[in-house]
Chains A and B, each alone.
Chain A
């Protein structure tokens, strides 16, 4: 039985918006040209492919349903649990749960346990239930087994890549090659291909390994850390995009209005954001999240499943982060509009009797979009980090929800153990780093492509 959570709904909405925009771009020659030139930059092309990978996981993880319960009776019943398509795809990752911590690729637990043997009580490292369980003699066999699996997976990935590449080439040939405009640069297909190949080989290896080992180890309750980080992608992407989506209308509308109209409009808007800025953000967020708690407890019957409650909390967090974080961008845009309004092309528009709102949309907005783009991407990483900080004071996303913030937060205690449990932190760091890095690379390429002042 399919379920659409609130955040899913917004993500679909966002996807629909992106789809519409792509359609619009394809119909508008100069926009198509600009986006094409994003793809002709190596950084742009590579990051589009890599971000596509992240986005694909986030989207797969946003299609939720109640699984059917295996019951002998004729009555069809659904579990109260909510799963996503992604959960089904990665099957064993989710179900292979150990008892507690284990290191990456380990076949025994991280700490010793007491066992009763005929010789009396001994302290041993117990074997894991799933990790390396298929090995008879793990000490000797493990290295070889891992190598074989990595190679097999890489070959598999390369095979899939080769198939896709060949079919794309074939389609292109059948459709006939469209002559490229002489002014347009070629898309660096080579870089795109290599990136896709690397990602596919990585996925192949990881799938081969994941069935038999815990690639990033397990956490305190024995859950696979790789699974957790992959699930966290959705949380990270949602916090980054939804918050931005909520913040942008405020920041843009108020910022350029204040800058263009000046006078009392400017005064009012400035007073609003100065007031908002002078309230400590963390307090405001804490207050809102706590009041949401109270609301949830009062209406417990409406939000029955844990996932729904966690989801509502995530959405609320995005909203409150959005409402508190628009002031910085608003201030930047106000300043830029103050500068732009004195430009003579704005005066020329006034001389045509162009109305205020139209000037804002046609003349000012396009000229501040590069600031918006840069701020959004820089904020994206900031927001993912803010989530981690908020989790620290227990007002972040729900503890039951996988997120990099929660993982980093729990790593505080893990890192102080002896020997330290380093893999949770490492895994979340690697993925977060990847996402933010590629987002930055893409934003660089986009900014260059859309800034006509940068000579191509």
Chain B
């Protein structure tokens, strides 16, 4: 097979002069016709920059300094912009990560798909609409005739990604670039989209450049893979060879950092910790003494309409949940987006008003107590959020952020004592005491998450609600944070309510788990038992959709 796309010694840099930063250094790879090539790497490794270079869609500050990008033997870097426009969309199609951002909200689905058709295939309006209908049918959008005239906001996330794919395929490109096409989607939708891409590739005979951070996804898609780190390809091989026997140390570290059921009780490999170091067995410390009992919890949001804001309906985000958290255990709440798991977490610690139900915590019902009655329990129930970038006030220094809880809840009132406590906390989460005078923007995502954990720990909580604490992080960073959470649980006997969509994390970390679907728990029990022998139909669907290594 001859190569469709050949990239040779590509170097891309951002900025010029002393601020110049090389984003991609000496990248070479080739994709045969009808082949699938996966570029793997953590955030900031330069994989998206590589993809954008192929499309010549780099932002203005970036410059391709050297190298060749050949498509069917033609060097794309030498083409004038006018001809390049003819190639984009026609010979190379592209799908982006965020389906919400990549569709124009004021154009109908039909118009967006027709645009490349009319541009590249010179089809008439009628003909292009007919073709758009075929395409929507091909990407399995139900009721395509109606969807043609709908706007993006009327579609679900998975549906939008299908429309994006239809648009990218409209002009029958020879090469499809997919930049993290399923990262923003739920696992069940991800499985469908990946399956769809597979079939379309086979039917249309196109090649694919697949960019992802997810090893498992890459494995399910690619013929050949390359691992990128700091702008360089550290290992490139056929998929079969790579997944059986990764050679480079960095690749092996990535595999070691992945949480998995087989690693239960072992430390994950983050940077700087050895993989075989033993951690306490998750099962060991959990007691059967209940700490928090939830009974028939309901959180409904009223829908208001009209001038007088009359309540015309209810969104039943959480609809009758019952479970028990035992002291010192990790209880995972698993589900897809919109299933109400975050609402449950926030409702439990009364960040949202609870419509109905009991939350019994050490003999008190937190479900319906006033803000005043809630106050004494604030220090015992804390939360760590998903997005480390919005969970820290950008205008406060780290010391003040951590001190806030202590000030309000009255522990460590004296400033010297408080300072000592802050330093101790920073050390506990693996940061340095001198960091307390810096602002959050000076820290990376993983460090910020450590700060958020230190903030929650500052008031000596017994229960921490972890709301997707690692889903915005790279796998090696995720491994560090998960190890940290595990260590803290061992030291302080903390109880975690771990909210996540990531089954791998649950399988590594949780003692017990509950699967949520549409505001209800469909199945709960011992983690290993559920994972190995799911009872409920939905649990089975969910588990089978998870791509495996």
* Residues of A participating in the B interface, judged by any CB pair closer than 8 Å: 29-30, 343-345, 347-355, 358, 362-363, 366-367, 369, 452-453, 455
Contact = CB atoms under 8 A, between A and B. Distances in A.
A367 B394 contact: yes
B345 to A, nearest CB: 11
A347 B378 contact: no
Contacts of A366: 393, 395-396
Interface string B444-470: 000000001001100100000000000
A348 B385 contact: yes
Contact of B351 (A30, A347, A363): A347
A25 to B, nearest CB: 15
Interface in B377-412: 378-379, 381-383, 385-387, 390-397, 401, 404-405, 408-409
Interface in B323-357: 346, 349, 351
Nearest to A30: B397
B375 interface: yes
B124 interface: no
A345 B391 contact: yes
A351 B351 contact: yes
A351 B382 contact: yes
Contact of B440 (A350, A351, A352, A452): A452
A72 to B, nearest CB: 66
Contact of B437 (A29, A352, A355, A452): A29
A351 B383 contact: yes
Given A369-B395, A452-B394, 8 more contacts: A30-B437, A345-B392, A350-B351, A351-B351, A351-B382, A352-B405, A353-B375, A366-B396
B378 A345 contact: no
Interface residues of B, number: 35
27 contacts: A29-B437, A343-B390, A343-B391, A344-B386, A344-B391, A345-B390, A345-B392, A345-B393, A347-B351, A348-B452, A348-B456, A349-B404, A350-B351, A351-B378, A351-B381, A352-B378, A352-B379, A352-B459, A353-B374, A353-B375, A353-B409, A354-B408, A366-B396, A367-B394, A369-B395, A453-B394, A455-B441
B243 interface: no
A343 B408 CA distance: 20
B438 to A, nearest CB: 9
Contact of A344 (B381, B390, B441): B390
Interface string B300-344: 000000000000000000000000000000000000000000000
B29 interface: no
Contacts of B408: 352-355, 358
A363 B459 CA distance: 19
Interface in B97-145: none
B439 interface: yes
Given A347-B351, A452-B441, A367 B397 contact: no
**3 tightest A-B CB contacts, nearest first:** A353-B378, A366-B395, A344-B391
Contacts of A354: 404, 408
Contacts of A351: 349, 351, 378, 381-383
A369 B393 CA distance: 13
Interface-central residue, A29, A347, A351, A362, by most chain B CB under 10 Å: A351
B190 to A, nearest CB: 25
Contacts of B441: 452-453, 455
A19 to B, nearest CB: 24
Contacts of A349: 404
Interface string B1-26: 00000000000000000000000000
A363 B383 contact: no
Nearest to B383: A351
Contacts of B405: 352
Contacts of B401: 345
Interface-central residue, B351, B395, B409, by most chain A CB under 10 Å: B395
A358 B393 CA distance: 14
Nearest to A29: B437
B409 A352 contact: yes
A29 B438 CA distance: 11
Nearest to B397: A30
B418 to A, nearest CB: 14
Contacts of A352: 378-379, 404-405, 408-409, 459
B370 to A, nearest CB: 12
Contacts of A363: 393, 396
B460 to A, nearest CB: 12
Contacts of A344: 385-387, 390-391
A367 B378 contact: no
B452 A452 contact: no
Given A344-B385, A453-B441, A367 B404 contact: no
A350 B351 CA distance: 7
Nearest to A355: B408
Nearest to B441: A452
Nearest to B395: A366
A353 B351 CA distance: 10
Contacts of A452: 394-395, 439-441
B455 A348 contact: yes
B494 to A, nearest CB: 15
Contacts of A348: 383, 385, 391, 452, 455-456
Nearest to A343: B390
B381 A367 contact: no
Contacts of B396: 362-363, 366
Contacts of B404: 349, 352, 354, 362
Contacts of B437: 29-30
Contacts of A355: 408
A185 B257 CA distance: 41
A347 B395 contact: no
A429 to B, nearest CB: 37
Contact of B385 (A347, A353, A362): A347
A264 to B, nearest CB: 10
Contacts of B409: 352-353
B383 A347 contact: yes
A369 to B, nearest CB: 8
B308 to A, nearest CB: 11
B409 to A, nearest CB: 6
Contacts of B394: 367, 452-453
B447 to A, nearest CB: 15
Contact of B346 (A347, A362, A455): A347
A276 B456 CA distance: 44
Contacts of B440: 452
A363 B392 CA distance: 10
